[in-house]
Structure 1
């Protein structure tokens, strides 16, 4: 089933308007979600919204408020915000083109797939992508998403366009105060050459599928073991030997190993998938019934 667009509007470049749709480029489905449980009863903990001296209230009674003095608020109804006449509410306006490597990596926050919306958008969309590709530039603009004004970068990605929400300048903490604490260390020339050799040996393409979430796998195994009333099959790494204090010795030993010999051993047993854990949970419920 194709994902649904969660935002539609226009991509605007000067007088050119391209109808577009936004889709999330990431998913949280693989995350393991835990609930808070009242241990004596096994029931889930629920939360209520409470007003002091009033008690529990309904969501319909809640409005937004800005605290202009301690304990004093300007009340804003959501419909008042919706009625604000802002052009950027339904449009992404590109205001500048920059080199991609000119954007500090700390600013990149959330990626989205940007798609043309309808046949009338196709020509302008493909034209913009081609122009960005051939000039090796990234479009920088702004728009409103989920009640927040955002800076965005738009760049070619595979056969389409990728929109990345950027952090604002005041959301970035300066690093200099921390980095000033790093001591000035005199580096041994031989140690540097060994380190460079180690980097060269381990160089290659970035293949994210090769990196497994061992923590999530271990947690799923723990959940499965509890459902099956058994001890979890914990796979531990082989001990790496005594701690090496001297960095030169550590580098020599690392470079001395054959390429790939430092890979982690494979787990003897694959942790259950999320779906298998759910099936076991349903089976356990039927059995107890």
Structure 2
């Protein structure tokens, strides 16, 4: 597993050399843009609209647009110095909190943490302490030139670091338009909705959820590549346009009723018919 960051985590006087590894991977299918006539890949050139010429990487500088059309130019040396000053510091756990106090809206990316040279015992200590205290650590870390807030927690038998958004990066929910302020629903509708939720409740098994679009796209690509006949996938049942809320809830409940009772009744009827015969 590729190491993408090396450093150390500390809490109190305990210092743990660690390595970060990406815990997830992007499996999106990348499609290229081709010229329709000759199927050549399209090139995207860096062009200066004023000089009307292609620009090389060494001729590009970074800048911050503080107002429309006005920029503060930042030299690479300044950015590298700032980055090094922060990256050279050990990542210190600032606080320990209960995980359920952090809403999932804050979470961003997940990284596995492995102990660096000589850090196995301290790694085990932090893992055990987090497990038994049922808490997570809050720290700051610089990854790819950005200072990020991060949560350290235990996943299975491994320490993971989850970068989380700062409060000012999460938009206010009250700014969402057209959200009803009051629940104008009847008790019967609520009870029926809860009954539907109960019927659809199960244990979380991540393996049973798949990316159907990606699978279908890969099959389409393979069919075109090998010249096979392209098979149209079976269409899902059309959704009924039910405008009445109670009718929609009842129809959903009828559709999701456990099939065990029906199967049992069928077997009982068959056994009874056999005996009579």
TM-score, normalised with respect to structure 1: 0.81
Equivalences for residues 181-260 of structure 1 within 5 A: 181-182=179-180, 184-240=182-238, 242-257=240-255, 258-259=257-258
Report if aligned partners of 1:88, 1:142 keep a CA contact under 8 Å in 2: no
Q: Which moved more, 1:74-83 or 1:64-73?
A: 64-73
CA RMSD of aligned residues (A): 2.3
Report if aligned partners of 2:108, 2:164 keep a CA contact under 8 Å in 1: yes
- After superposing on structure 2, the runs of 4+ consecutive aligned residues of structure 1 that deviate more than 4 Å are 68-72, 87-90
* 1:171 to 2:169 alignment: yes
Structure 1 distance, partners of 2:239, 2:109, is 41
* 1:40 to 2:37 alignment: yes
Structure 1 distance, partners of 2:176, 2:55, is 45
Q: Residues 34, 97 of structure 1: CA spacing in aligned structure 2 closer, same or farther, 3 A cutoff?
A: same
Structure 1 distance, partners of 2:41, 2:30, is 13
Larger radius of gyration: 2
Structure 2 distance, partners of 1:44, 1:240, is 39
Q: Deviations over 1:106-139 (max 9, x none)?
A: 1100011011112x21111111111111111110
Task: For residue 179 of structure 1, report the CA deviation from its aligned partner.
Answer: 6.4
Structure 2 distance, partners of 1:165, 1:94, is 13
- Three-state SS of the structure 1 residue aligned to 2:15 is strand
Aligned to 1:110: 109
Report if aligned partners of 2:107, 2:164 keep a CA contact under 8 Å in 1: yes
Report if aligned partners of 1:89, 1:144 keep a CA contact under 8 Å in 2: no
Unaligned 5+ runs, structure 2: 261-277
- Three-state SS of the structure 1 residue aligned to 2:176 is helix
Q: How many residues align?
A: 257
Task: For residue 198 of structure 1, report the CA deviation from its aligned partner.
Answer: 1.5
